[in-house]
C-alpha cells in the first residue's frame, strides 16, 4: 500500500512530525489498527498500538490512486479517548 502525507507548508515536513510521529509508526498502526471508522468529511480514522506500546489515532482519506492513502494527521491517543478505546476492545473480547 502506498501512503502519502500532508506536508506542513511552514516547515516543509509531514504534519505528523508536529505530533512527534514518524511515517514508520503511521504505517505500523495502519497495518494493525483495531479500529478503522468513518471520520468527518469523508475521512477515516484508524486507531492502534505501535510495537513500542504507543496508542495512535491516524486520520486519513483514501487516495485517488488504487491501494493508496493520504494521511492528514496523527496523534497520541490519551486520556478519556484512550479509556473509551480500551473499553470498546474489552467489550469486543479482544485485548
**Domain boundaries along the sequence of the chain:** 2-92
CA gap 34, 17 in Å, rounded: 23
DSSP state of 20: T
> So what's the pLDDT on residue 23?
94
pLDDT-derived band of residue 93, with 50, 70 and 90 as boundaries?
confident
> Could you identify the residue written with the cell 513500542?
52
pLDDT reported for residue 95? 56
Backbone φ and ψ for 10, nearest 5 degrees, come out as -75, -40
Residue 94, pLDDT > 80, answer no
The whole-number pLDDT of residue 58 equals 97
Q: What's CA 1's distance to the chain center, in Å?
A: 15
CA 56/CA 75 separation, integer angstroms? 6
What integer is the mean pLDDT of 8-29?
94
Q: What is the pLDDT of residues 36-89, one digit of tens each?
A: 999 999 999 999 999 999 999 999 999 888 889 999 999 999 999 999 999 999
Q: What is the mean pLDDT of residues 14-38?
A: 94
Query: How many residues belong to the chain?
Result: 95
**For the whole model, what pTM was predicted?**
0.89
Amino acid at each position: 500500500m502506498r501512503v502519502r502525507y500532508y506536508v506542513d507548508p511552514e516547515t516543509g515536513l509531514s504534519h505528523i512530525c508536529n505530533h512527534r510521529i514518524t511515517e514508520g509508526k503511521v504505517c505500523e498502526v495502519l497495518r494493525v489498527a483495531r479500529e478503522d471508522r468513518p471520520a468527518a468529511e469523508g475521512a477515516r480514522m484508524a486507531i492502534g498500538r505501535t510495537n513500542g506500546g504507543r496508542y495512535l489515532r491516524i486520520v486519513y482519506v483514501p487516495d485517488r490512486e488504487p491501494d493508496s492513502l493520504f494521511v492528514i494527521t496523527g496523534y497520541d491517543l490519551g486520556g478519556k479517548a484512550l479509556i473509551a478505546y480500551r473499553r470498546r476492545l474489552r467489550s469486543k473480547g479482544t485485548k
